[in-house]
Amino acid sequence: MDKEQLKQKVGRRIVALRSQKGWSQSDLARACDKDRQAIEKLENGKVNPTIFTISEICNALNVSLSEFFEF
C-alpha cells in the first residue's frame, strides 16, 4: 500500500466511524476542536494526518487507536 492509498483508507475509516455515530463533519470538527474543512480534507485523503490528529479524532469518536486501525 502506498502513501496515497493509506491516506484514502484512513479517510474512509473516519467517514465510517463518524457515520456510525450519525455525526456530520461539523459535529466531528467541534468534538475534536478542528474546523470542518480540516475534517473534509482528512476524509478525502487530501492531507497526511499525524498520529496525534488521529488520536484526537479517536477520542472524539470514543474509539481506541487499535480499533481505528482495524481496516
The length of the chain, given as a count of residues:
71
Q: What is the rounded CA–CA span in Å between residue 50 and residue 22?
A: 25
- Residue range 3-57, pLDDT digits in tens: 999 999 999 999 999 999 999 999 999 999 999 999 999 999 999 999 999 999 9
| Overall domain count for the chain | 1
- Work out whether the CA dihedral 17, 20, 24, 27 comes out positive or negative: negative
Provide the whole-model pTM.
0.94
Residue 44 lies in a domain: yes
Residue 67 lies in a domain: no
Q: The domain that contains 58 carries what CATH number?
A: 1.10.260.40
Amino acid 62: pLDDT? 97
